[in-house]
Amino acid sequence: MNAARVDEVVGEFVNLKKRGVNLLGLCPFHNEKTPSFTVSPAKGIYKCFGCGKAGNSVNFIMDHESLSYPEALRYLADKYNIEIEETVLAKEEIEQKTERDSLYILMSAAQKYYSERLHEDEEGKTIALTYLKERALTPKTIEGFQLGWSSLGRDDFSQWAIKNGYNREYLVKTGMSFETEQGSLFDRFRERIMFPIHNIAGKIVGFGGRILRSNAKEAKYINSPETDIYNKSKILYGLFQARKAIRQRDEALLVEGYMDVLALHQAGIEHAVASSGTSLTDDQLRLVKRFTDNITFLFDGDAAGQKAALRAIDMALELELNVKMLLLPADHDPDSFVKAYDIEYVEQYFKDHSQNFIAFRIGLLPEDVLRDPIKKSEIVREMLNSVVLIKDIIKRNLYLREISKLLDFDEKVLNDELRRMAASKFKKDNKAPDLTLAEPQVISQEQAIRSQATAVNQEKQLLKVLLLYGSRMYTDDMTSAQFIYRETSGMEWENDHCRILFERYREATEQENNLADVNFLIHDQPEEMRRFVYDVITERYQLSPGWEKFLRRTVVSPDANYKEEVKSAIGYLKFTKISKIVEENQKGVALLETDEAIDELFMLQQVLLNMRKQLAVELGIG
Ligand SMILES: [Zn+2]
């Protein structure tokens, strides 16, 4: 535990920034935009103010890597070169190792085997190493990315592995070997340059293999299949090597192939990663977001590359990444580009030619499209479809202005259209909520609830219920008004009109034995206040139909079930207020300097999160 410092262990997976005596970052266990995940090196613990997760280095590894306690200890021991003396016999020990561990061990052995073939075998040296040198890769790069060579024989690796005691079941499970019906093994990778694929913790989970013979009938690249340890949609090639640079530059550069990653890293552009064996996925972008909010896509200028780029833009916008696009001069790919120019030129080119996605898309259009009003409006609509994915209003407006400027389109028209799109998107997104969704979706649903149900609207709703049903009995010995007072005592109002009217009503009922007439309440109030009250009680502020549907509540006529109305008005108001405090606490963590203050806030936060959970259950939205 002394060796495995929590800031170091967590820091391998989360981008942590110093805040007072602690460190702060985006929680890896739930989706959040504002960092509320704190790490206290002094205490050796982490705490998340958003989802409530907390623990020490071992807990973190257990949760994050889905490992058992002993597995997590082994993981950390391995990382810090601490030998664990286990009391079981060696043979049993091997059997007891989990299957995942065995798969990792096999992959690591395979990497060493293939590297030896590259550097020691005649065939590897003459064919593969020569090729890599022709591509101007340095020994340092070849070493750093642990490249290798798979020989020509049909079962060289499988035989070697069996001879060295590796379980044939695992050879097949990792996809390194195929098994024929007769039970013999042969190799997946033959006569290929081997690119080990690392997970974020640096363990090898799969391989990519590139064939060298140009007349080969086989695919130029093949990859390991999906396995228990290799989930393709959650791995980015090169991220293990790139993550330091990504943090330092606060930017990730997404390229297309293994060789691009190698060439860029070698040239000193070490924040390059590639999606391997799949087209880009949401999960891969989430992986990037753990380290930075800024992503630059470097795509080939061909049609397939452009299509991939457009898809990637929307995915990244939806995850609230800041997206830049970079096109290389025609007839260059990243590999050839960094070889043709020196690093200063390349860096300057990247800087000068990174475009926002609006300018990028317009740049791709042929001249005549912009002269054709119909085509032009189609393009505008397409771009608005991307802009509408951006949740940050200020950013949205900046992009609108960009479209307006570059395409010479009236900004107000764009704005109206965007609003219409946003409304219909909101409706569509919230049409049929599945209330049994997993955690991240539940959180986004909560966000939806919060955005629609502002505290002020909830206050108006509660005021309405008070004015309409306050005098009716809630229980045998308590009016609805008394019940509302009790439940909201000490609450701070956001809307002044609501606060004043609430107080006046309370004074009136206390003095006049539960008789408070709305007209009496406002008879001496200014015109503005009177209008406010009538607006409230004529149900203008009732929950919108979409909201009702959203919550799967049947719309009961208010009078028929006033107790329900009272209860739910209080419930939603509390839910909204608690959510707001929770959110503020999350942001507030950054400002706290002492451990004591953080502990105190964390305890409060746990209480609030529990209260909110309870309320959500009661309201049928949890
Ligand atoms: Zn969290």
The per-residue pLDDT for 439 is: 31
Give the Å distance between the CA of 52 and the centre of ligand 1: 6
Q: What is the mean pLDDT of residues 203-215?
A: 89
255 and 264 in contact (C-beta within 8 Å)? yes
How many whole angstroms from 228 Cα to the centroid of ligand 1?
25
Same domain (yes/no): 127, 213: yes
pLDDT-derived band at 62 (thresholds 50, 70, 90) equals: confident
- Alpha-carbon distance 124 to 469, whole Å? 86
| Cα separation, 185 vs 536, whole angstroms | 77
Rounded Cα distance between 230 and 536, Å, is 57
466 shares its domain with 591: yes
In terms of domains, do 270 and 415 share one? yes
Q: Round to whole Å and give the CA distance between 615 and 133.
A: 65
How many whole angstroms separate alpha carbon 136 and alpha carbon 258?
Answer: 15
Is the overall model pTM greater than 0.75, yes or no? Answer: no
**Model confidence at 452, in pLDDT bands (50, 70, 90)?**
very low
Q: What is the pLDDT of residue 215?
A: 66
Ligand 1 mean position, distance from CA 197 (Å) = 28
Residue 80 domain-assigned (yes or no) = yes
Q: Are residues 423 and 511 in the same domain?
A: no
Question: What b-and-e string marks burial along 188-201, b requiring 16 or more CB atoms within 10 Å of the CB?
Answer: bbbbbbbbbbbbbe
What's the CA-to-centroid distance between 339 and ligand 1, angstroms?
43
| 161, 195, 230 - which closes a domain | 230
Structural tokens at position 480: 């609805």
Within a domain: residue 1?
A: no
My answer on whether 458 and 577 are in the same domain is yes
Question: Highest mean pLDDT: which of 145-159, 200-214, 218-232, 275-289?
Answer: 145-159
**Which of 257, 194, 258, 196 shows the shortest CA–CA distance to 229?**
196
| Closest CA relative to residue 13, chosen from 289, 200, 261 | 200
Give the C-alpha separation, 308 to 311, whole Å.
5
Residues 445, 433 contacting (CB under 8 angstroms): yes
User: How many Cβ atoms sit within 10 Å of the Cβ of residue 234?
Assistant: 16
Q: How far is the CA of 7 from the centre of ligand 1 (A)?
A: 16
Q: What is the pLDDT of residue 549?
A: 45
Cα 27 to averaged position of ligand 1 atoms, centre (Å):
5
The answer to whether residue 441 is domain-embedded is no
Task: Report pLDDT for 535.
Answer: 72
Q: How far is the CA of 460 from the centre of ligand 1 (A)?
A: 32
Measure 161 CA to ligand 1 centroid, in angstroms.
42
**From ligand 1's centre to the CA of 508, what distance in Å?**
46
468 and 576 in a single domain? The answer is yes
The answer to whether residues 413 and 512 belong to one domain is no
Q: Identify the H or E element spanning 48.
A: strand 45-48
> For the chain, what is the domain count?
4
Nearest to 347 by CA among 256, 251, 247: 251
**Tokens in use for 194?**
């081997």
Average pLDDT over residues 514-543: 66
Q: Please provide the DSSP assignment of 566-588 as one string.
A: HHHHHHHHHHHHHHHHHHHHHHH
What CATH number is given to the structural domain containing 226? 3.90.980.10
Q: Which two tokens stand for residue 473?
A: 């009995």
| Ligand 1 centroid from CA 455, angstroms | 24
Residue 439 Cα to ligand 1 midpoint, Å, equals: 11
User: What is the rounded average pLDDT of the residues 423-428?
Assistant: 67
In a domain, 120, yes or no: yes
Residues 309 and 412 grouped into a single domain: yes
Distance CA 63, CA 118 (A): 38
Residues 196 and 317 in one domain: no
Q: CB-based contacts of 308: which residues, under 8 Å, 6+ apart?
A: 279, 280, 299
Average pLDDT over every residue of 483-507 = 86
Where in the sequence is the domain holding 498, given as residue range(s)? 451-619
Separation of 50 CA from ligand 1 center, angstroms?
Answer: 5
Highest mean pLDDT among 21-25, 137-141, 520-524: 137-141
371 with 460, same domain: the answer is: no
Gap between the Cα atoms of 67 and 75, Å rounded: 9
Fill in the amino acid letter for 34. T
1 CA to centre of ligand 1 in angstroms: 23
Q: Answer whether residue 617 shows pLDDT above 50.
A: yes
Cα of 130 vs centre of ligand 1, distance in Å, is 49
Decide if pLDDT at 271 tops 90: yes
Measured from the Cβ of residue 331, the count of other Cβ atoms closer than 10 Å reads 8
Structure tokens given for 561: 């079930």
Quickly state the pLDDT bin for 433 (edges 50, 70, 90).
very low
Quote the ligand 1 centre to 313 CA distance (angstroms). Answer: 26
Q: What is the CATH number of the domain that holds 424?
A: 3.40.1360.10
Task: Tell me how far the alpha carbon of residue 48 lies from the centroid of ligand 1, in angstroms.
Answer: 5
CA of 204 to the centre of ligand 1 (A): 28
434 occurs within a structural domain: no
CA of 28 to the centre of ligand 1 (A): 7
Ligand 1 centroid – CA 320 distance (Å): 18
Report how far ligand 1's centroid is from the alpha carbon of 392 (Å). Answer: 21
**Inside any domain, residue 190:** yes
Query: What band does 606 get if pLDDT is binned at 50, 70 and 90?
Result: confident
Distance, CA 355 to ligand 1 centroid (Å)? 33
**Domain's final residue, options 76, 95, 114:** 95
Q: Is 400 left (phi over 0), alpha (psi -120 to 50) or beta?
A: alpha
Share of the chain above pLDDT 90, in %: 28
Torsion angles phi and psi, residue 88, rounded to 5: -80, 160
CA–centroid distance, 341 to ligand 1, in Å, is: 44
Specify if 439 maps to a domain. Answer: no
Reply yes or no on whether the pLDDT at 505 is more than 60.
Answer: yes
* Residue 26 Cα to ligand 1 middle (Å): 8
How large is the average pLDDT for residues 529-536?
76
Q: Where are the alpha helices (DSSP H) in 201-289?
A: 239-249, 258-267, 282-289
Write down the pLDDT at residue 438: 26
Instruction: Tell me, in angstroms, the distance from the centre of ligand 1 to residue 58's CA.
Output: 17
Residue 200 has pLDDT above 70, yes or no: yes
Helix (H, G, I), strand (E, B) or coil at 322: strand
61 CA → ligand 1 middle, Å: 15
Query: Does the pLDDT value for residue 560 go beyond 70?
Result: no
Ligand 1 centre distance from Cα of residue 29 (Å)? 5
Q: Same domain, yes or no, for 292 and 422?
A: yes
Instruction: For residue 418, give Cα distances in angstroms to 370, 383, 395, 403, 491.
Output: 20, 10, 13, 12, 37
Cβ(107)–Cβ(146) below 8 Å: no
